[in-house]
């Protein structure tokens, strides 16, 4: 990291003001200190937009082309109040969404009226060797201006050697007018290739919103 540190230091003036060097399309690729895996580009594979949808499934495009798949959730609005956005995995191209999962779930929240806040682990939304859905939100609201946004990363789903790790972060408006930030991580406990994923609310429909699926690296 020595040369990278020197490059960073050279961006400071003698008065201590940080003046970053100009960034070009090739600047990242030319920094040899960064591991090759970190230089992988983000490629949009597909996207789907909900409209009163019972679920949204991606049954193609999850294969050995990429080592990491990134899902971005934009303006996910639920039809029912205080419901939970969730996902499940499939190893048979979407015929069944029942991959066994073990996970963790914790959150922070703050009330609009500045009278409630918390940081807590949620034992009701983690999984221990369960084939059920994995929650991404906790009592999401369905007011006209309520929605959820976030990301989910799925790592090396085509491996036939290792389990399938995932990490998710969500920000959303709860039905109780709280701002929630949830953090979810775990793994699909299977050495079979995971090749499909389904998103749904645990009650009612996904009223609106778009999900983007990206591949990272090669």
pLDDT string in tens for the chain (218-residue length): 555 555 545 555 555 555 555 544 454 445 445 455 455 689 999 999 999 999 999 999 999 999 999 999 999 999 999 999 999 999 999 999 999 999 999 999 999 999 889 999 999 999 999 999 999 999 999 999 999 999 999 999 999 999 999 999 999 999 889 999 999 999 999 999 999 999 999 999 999 999 999 999 86
Signed CA dihedral, 80, 83, 85, 86: sign only: negative
Contacts of 119 (CB under 8 A, 6+ apart): 106, 107, 108
Domain ranges of the chain: 1-39, 40-216
Signed CA dihedral, 150, 50, 83, 112: sign only: positive
Does domain 40-216 fall under CATH 3.10.620? My reply is no
C-alpha dist (Å) from residue 132 to 80, 104, 197: 20, 14, 13
- The C-alpha angle with vertex 105 and arms to 99 and 107, in degrees rounded to 5, equals 150
């Amino acid at each position: 990291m020595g040369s990278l540190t020197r490059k960073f230091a050279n961006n400071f003036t003698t008065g201590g003001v940080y003046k970053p060097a100009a960034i070009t399309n090739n600047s990242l690729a030319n920094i040899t200190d960064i591991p090759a895996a970190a230089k992988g580009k983000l490629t949009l594979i597909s996207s789907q937009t909900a409209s009163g949808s019972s679920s949204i499934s991606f049954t193609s495009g999850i294969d050995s082309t990429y080592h990491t798949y990134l899902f971005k959730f934009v303006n996910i609005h639920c039809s029912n109040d205080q419901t939970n956005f969730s996902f499940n995995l499939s190893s048979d191209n979407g015929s069944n969404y029942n991959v066994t999962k073990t996970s963790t779930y914790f959150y922070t929240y703050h009330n609009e009226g500045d009278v409630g806040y918390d940081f807590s682990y949620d034992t009701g939304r983690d999984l221990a060797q369960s084939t059920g859905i994995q929650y991404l939100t906790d009592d999401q609201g369905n007011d006209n201006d309520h929605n959820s946004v976030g990301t989910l990363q799925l790592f090396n789903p085509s491996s036939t050697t290792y389990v399938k790790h995932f990490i998710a972060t969500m920000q959303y408006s709860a039905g109780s007018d709280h701002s929630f930030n949830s953090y979810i991580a775990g793994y699909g406990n299977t050495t079979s290739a995971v090749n499909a994923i389904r998103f749904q609310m645990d009650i009612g429909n996904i009223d609106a919103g778009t999900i983007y699926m990206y591949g990272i690296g090669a």
